Amino acid sequence: MNADGATLDGARVLVTGASRGYGAAVARALAARGAHLVLTATDPAHLARVAQQCADDGAACDLVALDLSSPGSVDAAAVQVGRAVPRLEGVVLNAGVLGPVGPLDALDADATGRAIDVDLTGQVRLLQRIAPLIADHAGVVLVTSGAAARAGYGAYAIGKAGLEAVGLMLRDEWAPRGIRVVAVNPGPVRTDMRAEAHPAEDPATVPPPAERVAPVLAVLEGVDPGPRVQASEWGLS
């Protein structure tokens, strides 16, 4: 795939955290463009519903259970992905948890560690395990957040900041293979996690996730906008 006349029709794309929110919106958008989807989540019932919606749009879907807090689950999921498709032209690492928020020194250490396992450590392990499947010139999107390294956001801020660092490393390390590694920040979108983090906020004041997927699709189609993109600014002059 390349930026000139690129298409996602038939492209094999892994989307983690695809059972709801931003991941589900990305999956639906990819399905509409003819991608072959490999979808993961910890909740099989929600994932099956999203997969059915994608199938209704004509997309082929393979479902993989994945718990990023469990090394064994990550390893098993990587094997399943390899059995489902011979290679991946695209990867969207969207899965994550909010975890405990507040001043870092006031947070429960064990709960903080568990959240970091999902938001960072498990993500790194998954990338290591699926790296042989990622095709040359593929697009790899790491879904990040404006909360990265932000005071008061606890484990989530640590995980997202670390994930952005991973993206910068892999962007250089995989550059000889033409792989585009881009961190995409959706910004505020109407998701369950957003509601958990901002319970007093009116959900109607933030856009639905589907309105912020354009940069993810562009990266997967061959565009390289740089190491980090703000979805809310995509397309603005």
Q: What is the pLDDT of residues 6-60, one digit of tens each?
A: 689 999 999 999 999 999 999 999 999 999 999 999 989 999 999 999 999 999 9
- In the predicted model, is pLDDT for residue 237 greater than 60? no
Which string of DSSP letters, residue by residue, matches 28-82? HHHHHTT-EEEEEES-HHHHHHHHHHHHHTT--EEEEE--TT-HHHHHHHHHHHH
**How many angstroms separate the Cα of 167 from the Cα of each of 44, 73, 141, 231?**
28, 22, 9, 17
Tell me the sheet residues that pair with 183: 142, 228
Catalytic residue numbers? 156
For residue 227, what is the DSSP state?
S
CATH of 12-231 among 3.40.640.10, 3.40.50.720, 3.40.50.150, 3.40.50.10490: 3.40.50.720
What integer is the mean pLDDT of 174-198?
89
Give the model's confidence band at 2: pLDDT under 50 very low, under 70 low, under 90 confident, else very high: very low
